[in-house]
Amino acid sequence: MTIGISIALILSSMLMVLLVLLHKGKGGGLSDMFGGGFSSSFGGSSVVERNLDRLTVITGAVWLICIIALGLILRP
């Protein structure tokens, strides 16, 4: 059980980093530095941004649930 939750936590953490970096930047941050071409091609599409926001929130919820579950399982 612990190994499965740990794997889900690692995967959700990596996906969260990727999703946050894909968001359209509002200033000169990391998203402008690394995702300049990607954000310029999808920047005008509000549907893509909304879906990216939803996916980021869902991934964050999965990450939080994994953290709480591991904390409850590994508590002495």
With contact defined as beta carbons under 8 Å apart, do 19 and 55 qualify?
A: yes
Mean pLDDT throughout 13-28?
83
First-residue to last-residue Cα distance in the chain: 16
- 70 or 50: which leads in pLDDT: 70
Mean pLDDT throughout 9-17?
96
- Does this model's pTM top 0.85? My answer is no
With contact defined as beta carbons under 8 Å apart, do 6 and 70 qualify?
A: yes
User: Could you give the CA distance from residue 22 to residue 39 in angstroms, rounded to a whole number?
Assistant: 7
Q: What is the pLDDT of residue 46?
A: 79
Mean pLDDT throughout 15-36?
72
Mean pLDDT throughout 20-28?
73
> Tens digits of per-residue pLDDT, 29-48?
555 566 555 555 555 567 88
